[in-house]
Amino acid sequence: MITVIDYGMGNIRSVVKAVEKYTADVRVSGDPSSILDSNSLIMPGDGAFGMAMENLIKMGWIEPLKSYIKRGGRFLGICLGFQLLFSTSEEFGMHDGLDIIQGSIVRFTGADRKVPHMGWNNVEISVKSAHMDGIKTNSYFYFIHSYYPQIEDRKWIIGEVDYGVRFPCIVGKGDLIATQFHPEKSHNAGLKIIRNFVESSCR
């Protein structure tokens, strides 16, 4: 069973529809106990980092989610679900994240780029990863965000993008993968990421 986490932060349905292209074995849940009978978790999300953490705390997700990830559970984070894996964010004040990946989420600066970063950008895949099987480096993906990660351990980085600054937009280790862009909105290349995740979940 693939569980899509509903913590009140948007874009759930589009992710579920993308997963349903490859399996019917998917559900949406706001109950942390659903981790117990899940083969995989997907955490999508749009909106503010601080509110997302507040919702995860109120709903009781923090410790079960951190425990699941740290023991090697299969996990896909998307957009805000990517950013929440980091230690802190400066979005509307300083906020603690899940601290799975050491690093900070910071706002784009400089007058040479529009904020938010919205639209299609090519991504350089910097390391070989089963999560990216069948996807060529410099494929295009769809982004919409105003903040980006500064990462401490580059061993997490699978892919990077340039938008005035070069930053990691695909991170992963073991059965965890997370993307700053929206794979469910990124046509063939993005859907291939979701298909790879689904197929690894259903083995």
State the catalytic residues.
79, 182, 184
Is the alpha carbon torsion for 72, 73, 77, 80 positive or negative? Answer: negative
* Separation of first and last alpha carbons in the chain: 11
Neighbouring C-beta atoms of residue 66, cutoff 10 Å: 14
Report the alpha-carbon distance of residue 140 to residue 161 in Å, rounded: 10
Cβ contact 121:141 at 8 Å: yes
Enumerate residues 6+ apart whose C-beta is below 8 A from 136: 125, 189
**129: its two tokens:** 């990863």
Give the CA distances from residue 139 to residues 113, 136, 144, 174, 196, in Å, rounded to whole numbers and listed in that order.
Answer: 21, 6, 17, 23, 16
Give the CA distances from residue 71 to residues 61, 97, 201, in Å, rounded to whole numbers and listed in that order.
Answer: 16, 18, 16
